[in-house]
Amino acid sequence: MSLLERVIHPDQTKLWYGEIPIQSRYTVGIAGERFFREIKENGRFWGTRCPSCDLIYVPPRLYCERCFAHLEEWVEVPTTGRVHTFTVVHLDLDGNLLPEPQVLAFVQLDGTDGGLVHYLGEVDPDEVCIGMCVEAVFKDAGERRGSITDILYFRPI
């Protein structure tokens, strides 16, 4: 017998089942706190601007990744944008067919260097195209909790 010893009786092979018992609790962070509070309280998007790189980050960042400056200039940005790219999702995480296909897009927000990944809604998946102009649709103010899901979806303008 050696390292190459083989299993001759498959019923002797053994799997050992287990879990890693963790769950994660993520703070939204210093920049994220202000971003999501604006969404929750006012249904608005804010970004941070790097004056030396002339970039507006949305979601906002505490620092500029290019020049490493602390970003302290907050600017309100539009809740409108353009579809930079999209996909139509037919299956859930376990591979089951979704009742309705979902359109997932990266929306570049107007006047910024950033954007959000989110669903598109109120639109036929066949009619979605890159470059399409869209706007954010928020949940009612009372239902918002300071989360990306406070935005229901983006819809065509």
Partner 1 sequence: MKEHVYDTVYLSEEDFTEGRVLFETWVPKARYAWDAGIAIGRYLAELKQGRLVGRHCPSCGRVMIPPRMFCEQCFAPTDLWVPLQDTGTVITFSICYIRWDMVRLEHPLIPAVIAIDGASPGMGILHLLGEVDPQVVRIGMRVRAVWKPPEEREGAITDIRYFKPLE
Partner 2 sequence: MGRNRVAIVGAGMTKFVRRAQETGKEQAWEAASKALESCEMTLDDIDAVVIGSAPEAFDGLHMKTEYLSDGCGGWGKPVIRGFVGGGTGVFSAIQGWYHIASGLFDTVLVVAEEKMSSCQPHPQGAFITIFDHTTERPLGPNLLWIFALEMNAYMTRYGLSKRDIALVSVKNKRNAADHPAALLGDPHITVEDVLNSEVLAWPVQRLDVSPVTDGAVAIVMAAEHVARRVTSKPVWVEGVGWNLDTAYWTNRDLSYPTYVEEAARMAYKMAGITEPRKQIHIAEPYDPFDYKELHHLEGLLLFDEGKAAEATALGITQRDGDLPVCPSGGLLGVGNPIAAAALMKVAELFWQLRGEAGARQVPGQPKRGVAQAWGDLMQVSTVIVLGV
Query: In degrees to the nearest 10, what's the CA dihedral of 129, 144, 113, 127?
Result: 0
Q: At closest approach, how far in Å is the CB of 57 from Zn ion?
A: 9
Helix, strand or coil for residue 56? strand
Amino acid at 3: L
**Sheet containing strand 73-77, strands side by side:** 55-57, 45-50, 73-77
Residue 5 binding result from partner 2, partner 1, Zn ion, none, given CB thresholds of 5 to 8 Å by partner type: partner 1
Give me the residues paired with residue 73 across strands: 49
Residues 17-36 that bind partner 2 (CB under 8 A): 18, 20-33
The residue (of 55 and 136) whose beta carbon lies closer to partner 2 is: 55
| Residue 3 token pair | 């390292």
Q: At closest approach, how far in Å is the CB of 43 from Zn ion?
A: 28
**Stretch near Zn ion under the rule CB under 5 A, chosen from 53-61, 95-103, 112-120, 141-149:** 53-61
Binding-site ranges for Zn ion (CB under 5 A): 50, 52-53, 64, 66-67
